[in-house]
Chain A
Amino acid sequence: MSPASFDAPGITSTYGLMAEFDSAQELVDAAHKTHQAGYQKLDAYSPFPVEGLAEAIGFRKNRVALVVLIGGILGGLSGYMLQYWVAAITYPTNIGGRPFHSWPSFIIVTFEMTVLFGGLSALFGMLALNGLPMPYHPVFNVPEFKKVTENKFFLVVFSSDPQYNPAATRTFLESLSPRMVAEVPS
């Protein structure tokens, strides 16, 4: 946390160990091997979504779809109920002799509200589950990490992993033939 941790990396506060790779395939293979070796707390970083990478690091719980489903249902229900309440209860108006609760006319606004709430939950749900916006993150302390938004691929084993050991984990990561292994100060 303090600037002092930069002077003494690996002794007090280390976020984890970072390995850099050249290609998406190398990263997927390395992530898979690391996960197979028993590491649980790890993450992989890439400049574009890589097929199979999330599975390789053991990530399965993606609840975005559930959030969107709930958002959409809430939007649709609130849209319909608003129209029903307005047209049939609080402000009933006789329009061409149609029933106050003329549901076919209410379909469109219900649909629009479903899409609106569903879409907003997709963006905000995704951001919230990802913990974004995040003004500070330790991985950016490694200068090479800048290339993650261009052409380089990274694997980080967190120091919070029960199997984490500064020396042993470094040796293991080096066995995956990365471009480099670096300590991530937290």
Chain B
Amino acid sequence: MAANLQIPVADRRAPVIAPGHTFTSVTDKITNIVLTRPISVAWVLGFLVVFSMLNMLMVALGYLFFKGVGIWGINIPIGWGFAIVNFVWWIGIGHAGTLISAILALLRQSWRNSINRFAEAMTLFAVACAGTFPLAHMGRPWLFYWMFPYPNTMNYWPNFRSPLVWDVFAVSTYFTISLVFWFTGLIPDFGTLRDRAQHPWVQKIYGILAMGWRGSARHWHRYETAYILLAGLSTPLVLSVHTVVSFDFAIGIVPGWHTTIFPPYFVAGAIYSGFAMVLCLAIPIRAVYGLKDFITERHLEISAKVMLGTGLIVAYGYGMEAFMGWYSGNQFDSFLMWNRLHGPYAFWYHALLICNIGLPQLLWIKKFRVSTGLLWIWSFIVLVGMWLERFIIVVVSLARDFQNSSWGMYYPTKWDWMTFIGTIGLFLTAMWLFCRLLPMISIFELRQLLPEAHTHEPVEVAK
């Protein structure tokens, strides 16, 4: 039996699942991480680190709610500081998760089955981090519900012509649908955990979450329809979210924001940073939890290629911005380019070009795509580069707009940094818990990748 378990793949490529696995072995390997693996000292120490980062966020937000946004470095002319930079950065990171789970499902890219679960979790946590920033930036976050259209005694309604209102709908829909998609994918695996758990309370908790899932053929049939329709709905959704985020800028008249290239350029940048985050997480997770059989070199290499491809689209975006700065003949647009290259933030613009365009070109070399250490460093470089991109877009454009009497500089305060690093803590704390509480790889989809799962048409019974 073991002999025919080999997945047929082209010769030079690593398989999407290591040979020799059976339904039981994949189930064991993934559920044991949740159910039987003891909690290690390293896990606890790591958790303490990320949890204290999360507490730093709580302190920063608590003080913010007490004092107001004046504790941040924002002021006129730069009213959109770290809050918006980090919002766009985090929400972009989320995009890779939905791309992997939805778009690749529609394209029948079965290799996605081993990374979609934790990529979707990454999406949820990243969107949660992203959502923190506009809420905190509001000044009076306890009145956040004023953004939604609801009948109120003030007789007031939102202005639906404003991209900021579109953003509310785009981001809240994105979070909700990502959660629905993630939960739908988890239902059958909750069933597996329920049936394998030993402790009665653990059985009860997973049993409640599994909602009585019993793997009926009728249920699977409806389930698959629902899943593929969710993928179909999420595909335009993920493309729309960063498009709408880019409208926040593109509909304004500030030089460097008011361009039609923003939507595709933002979406490509989002996927670029998202895949960087996938690699940043997948490389340590597969090593620590012994999942190299399921997250193989093939996954890492494909992710690196997606990074390279979307990075080139982003590079095209930069090129077009520079070209339009010259070709438009608009003095403010051409000044913006000069200001980026030679102005007070020139160092960071050059750093951005090196991180996002220069260094990632080394991914053309196979050694960089298959060496986990190098790839991990490179994904980190891309994450830094994409953060700098959002910083340049938000801050440099606002710092020097039309009137030089209204120019200014932006200096983030310690509270800005604490909030930013704190959301990294929120993200990592959630990931830390996710790894031990939920199956981080979709078990039933992994079973489908095994050759034994494939069936042929039943033979007609002879009359």
Chain A residues engaging chain B, CB cutoff 8 angstroms: 23-25, 28-29, 31-33, 36, 43-54, 56-57, 59, 62, 64-65, 68, 72, 82-83, 86-87, 90-91, 93, 95, 98, 102, 105-106, 108-109, 111-113, 115-116, 118-120, 122-123, 125-127, 129-130, 132-137, 139-140, 145-151
Known: A86-B160, A148-B215. A125 touches B459 (CB 8 A): no
Q: Are B230 and A119 touching (Cβ within 8 A)?
A: yes
B225 contact set on A, CB distance < 8 A = 62, 64-65, 126
Q: Are B161 and A87 touching (Cβ within 8 A)?
A: yes
A93 contact set on B, CB distance < 8 A = 159
Known: A111-B240, A115-B236. A48 touches B447 (CB 8 A): yes
B342 contacts the other chain (CB 8 A): no
Contact with A along B208-240 (1 / 0, CB 8 A): 000111111111111111100110011011001
Q: Are B159 and A95 touching (Cβ within 8 A)?
A: yes
Question: A44, A48, A54, A102: which has the most chain B beta carbons within 10 Å?
Answer: A48
Q: Are A59 and B230 touching (Cβ within 8 A)?
A: no
Q: Are B214 and A137 touching (Cβ within 8 A)?
A: yes
B201 contacts the other chain (CB 8 A): no
14 contacts between A and B (CB under 8 A): A52-B455, A56-B458, A59-B217, A59-B218, A62-B222, A86-B149, A87-B160, A98-B161, A106-B160, A108-B166, A109-B165, A113-B169, A127-B211, A136-B212
Q: Are A46 and B217 touching (Cβ within 8 A)?
A: yes
A125 contact set on B, CB distance < 8 A = 226
B149 contact set on A, CB distance < 8 A = 82, 86
Q: Shortest distance in angstroms between A87's beta carbon and chain B's nearest beta carbon?
A: 6
- In the A-B complex, the 3 residue pairs with the closest CB atoms: A133-B211, A134-B212, A151-B23
Task: Choose the segment among B71-79, B192-200, B359-367, B391-399 that binds chain A (4+ C-beta atoms closer than 8 Å).
Answer: B192-200
Q: Are A150 and B27 touching (Cβ within 8 A)?
A: yes
Q: Are B23 and A150 touching (Cβ within 8 A)?
A: yes
A146 contact set on B, CB distance < 8 A = 195
Of residues 400 through 455 on chain B, the ones whose CB sits less than 8 Å from some CB of chain A are: 444-445, 447-448, 452-455
Contact with A along B225-258 (1 / 0, CB 8 A): 1100110011011001000100100000000000
B157 contacts the other chain (CB 8 A): yes
Task: Name A148's contact: one of B161, B214, B445, B456 (CB within 8 Å).
Answer: B214
Q: Give me 4 other A-B pairs in contact (C-beta within 8 A), A52-B455, A132-B219 excluded.
A: A46-B217, A109-B169, A118-B233, A135-B212
Q: Are B233 and A132 touching (Cβ within 8 A)?
A: no
Q: Are B220 and A105 touching (Cβ within 8 A)?
A: no
B40 contacts the other chain (CB 8 A): no
B380 contacts the other chain (CB 8 A): no
B188 contact set on A, CB distance < 8 A = 48, 149
Question: B155, B161, B452, B458: which has the most chain A beta carbons within 10 Å?
Answer: B458
Q: Are B176 and A119 touching (Cβ within 8 A)?
A: yes
Of residues 158 through 196 on chain B, the ones whose CB sits less than 8 Å from some CB of chain A are: 158-162, 165-166, 169-170, 173, 176-177, 180-181, 183-184, 188, 191-192, 194-196
Task: Name B230's contact: one of A23, A95, A122, A145 (CB within 8 Å).
Answer: A122
A86 contact set on B, CB distance < 8 A = 149, 157-158, 160
A28 contact set on B, CB distance < 8 A = 455, 458
Q: Within the assembled complex, what's the spacing in Å between the Cα atoms of A127 and B213?
A: 10
Q: Shortest distance in angstroms between B33's beta carbon and chain A's nearest beta carbon?
A: 16
Known: A126-B225, A150-B27. A43 touches B218 (CB 8 A): yes
Q: Are A29 and B458 touching (Cβ within 8 A)?
A: yes
B142 contact set on A, CB distance < 8 A = none
B55 contact set on A, CB distance < 8 A = none
Task: Name B217's contact: one of A54, A64, A145 (CB within 8 Å).
Answer: A54
Q: Mostly helix, strand, loop or mixed at chain A's interface?
A: helix
A109 contact set on B, CB distance < 8 A = 160, 165-166, 169
B11 contact set on A, CB distance < 8 A = none
Q: Are A45 and B212 touching (Cβ within 8 A)?
A: no
Q: Shortest distance in angstroms between A172's beta carbon and chain B's nearest beta carbon?
A: 12
Q: Are B215 and A149 touching (Cβ within 8 A)?
A: yes
B52 contacts the other chain (CB 8 A): no
B219 contact set on A, CB distance < 8 A = 130, 132
Q: Shortest distance in angstroms between B208's beta carbon and chain A's nearest beta carbon?
A: 8
A118 contact set on B, CB distance < 8 A = 229, 233
B455 contact set on A, CB distance < 8 A = 24-25, 28, 50-53
Task: Name B233's contact: one of A36, A62, A115, A151 (CB within 8 Å).
Answer: A115
A56 contact set on B, CB distance < 8 A = 217, 458
Q: Are A108 and B170 touching (Cβ within 8 A)?
A: yes
Q: Are A122 and B233 touching (Cβ within 8 A)?
A: yes
Q: Within the assembled complex, what's the spacing in Å between the Cα atoms of A96 and B240?
A: 25
Q: Within the assembled complex, what's the spacing in Å between the Cα atoms of A45 and B212?
A: 13
B223 contact set on A, CB distance < 8 A = 49, 126, 130
Q: Within the assembled complex, what's the spacing in Å between the Cα atoms of A132 and B173?
A: 24
Q: Are A43 and B217 touching (Cβ within 8 A)?
A: yes
B39 contacts the other chain (CB 8 A): no
Q: Are A132 and B161 touching (Cβ within 8 A)?
A: no
Q: Shortest distance in angstroms between A124's beta carbon and chain B's nearest beta carbon?
A: 9
Q: Are A64 and B229 touching (Cβ within 8 A)?
A: yes
Q: Within the assembled complex, what's the spacing in Å between the Cα atoms of A116 and B177?
A: 7
Q: Are A45 and B229 touching (Cβ within 8 A)?
A: no
B259 contacts the other chain (CB 8 A): no
Q: Shortest distance in angstroms between B2's beta carbon and chain A's nearest beta carbon?
A: 15
Q: Within the assembled complex, what's the spacing in Å between the Cα atoms of A105 and B166?
A: 9
Q: Within the assembled complex, what's the spacing in Å between the Cα atoms of A166 and B215?
A: 24
Q: Are A29 and B459 touching (Cβ within 8 A)?
A: yes
